[in-house]
Amino acid sequence: MGEEVKVFGYWASPYSYRAELALKLKGVSYEYINEDIFGNKSDLLLKYNPVHKKVPVLLHNGKPIVESLVILEYVEETWKHNPYLPQDPYDKATARFWIKFIDEKCFPTLWLAAWSAENEREKVTNEACEYLKTLESALNGKKFFGGETIGMVDIVASSVGYFIRVTQEIMGQNLLSADKFPQLFQWSEDFANCSIVKESLPPRDKLLPFVKGLIAKYQQDNAKA
């Protein structure tokens, strides 16, 4: 039977990107549907993700899977070749720990550092640097978080390694710099240079103005609040 795989995503979303990269790493063909998440979400999106109404949504033979981390685990379990999670339960738990750390601490704080008000920025930036330091320790001399090849932690860390680096450029910040975090910086270069990663990342020249606009919006909303 032909597999029917669809991804409802948004071209600039780091979460949506994770779902796509996972499928590409498994060599799974899929149809991509770009959702107008800032304008008009499609009826299908609202039908497949009634609880959160967000992208990404993975549709596999008509059944929806939502939340990027849930999607990553599902893809790993459904297409067992090219594994991106370790087999050993302890190593798996360790990978999941770092994934949670990136998603709940690293990424949100780095994003906050980009648009937070002047008076809060230093505090948030310091916090973000602490998190980057901790994240770097997880690399522990390896090329990728997954070892010699990209693993699930790398997929999730793309939010930091690519999307946040673009954000930093806009804000004239250089938190993820080669001299402050040499290992992490090298990782982000190696990661972005992987052909399979490169072909699916949103292009920098499109992403820059988009993120600039988003930051302006966040700053505006924050000022009003």
Partner 1 sequence: MAEEVVLLDFWPSPFGMRSRIALAEKGIKYEHKEEDLRNKSALLLQMNPVHKKIPVLIHNGKPVCESLIQVQYIDEVWHDKAPLLPSDPYQKATARFWADYVDKKIYEVGGRVWKTKGEKQATAKKELIETLKLLEKELGDKPYFGGESLGYVDVAFIPFYSWFYALEKCGNFSIEAECPKLIAWAKRCMQKESVAKSLPDQQKVYDFILEMKKHFGIE
Cα(174)–Cα(114) distance, rounded to whole angstroms? 11
The pair of three-digit structure tokens given for residue 62, joined into one six-digit string:
């008509």
Residue 100 or residue 217: which is nearer to partner 1 going by CB?
A: 100
Using CB under 8 A, which of 3, 4, 82, 97 touches partner 1? 97
Mention every residue, 6+ apart, whose C-beta is less than 8 A from residue 23: 5, 7, 30, 75
Q: Does 78 bind partner 1 (CB under 8 A)?
A: yes
Residue 139 or residue 207: which is nearer to partner 1 going by CB?
A: 139
Residue 57: beta bridge partners?
8, 66
Stretch 104-143 residues interacting with partner 1 (CB under 8 A): 134
Could you give the C-alpha distances from 117 to 56, 76, 122, 124, in angstroms and in order? 30, 40, 9, 10
Using CB under 8 A, which of 60, 113, 159, 197 touches partner 1? 60
Using CB under 8 A, which of 10, 17, 101, 191 touches partner 1? 101
**First and final CA of the chain: distance in angstroms?**
53
Residue 90 or residue 195: which is nearer to partner 1 going by CB?
A: 90
Closest separation between CB of residue 89 and partner 1, Å? 4
Mention every residue, 6+ apart, whose C-beta is less than 8 A from residue 169: 208
- 3-class SS of residue 5: strand
Q: Does 90 bind partner 1 (CB under 8 A)?
A: yes
Using CB under 8 A, which of 77, 120, 122, 189 touches partner 1? 77
Closest separation between CB of residue 100 and partner 1, Å? 6
Using CB under 8 A, which of 28, 33, 69, 194 touches partner 1? 69
DSSP symbols for 83-123: --S-SSHHHHHHHHHHHHHIIIIIHHHHHHHHHS-HHHHHH
Using CB under 8 A, which of 65, 114, 170, 211 touches partner 1? 65
Question: Contact residues for partner 1 (CB under 8 A)?
Answer: 51, 60, 63, 65-67, 69-71, 73-74, 77-78, 89-90, 92-93, 96-97, 100-101, 134
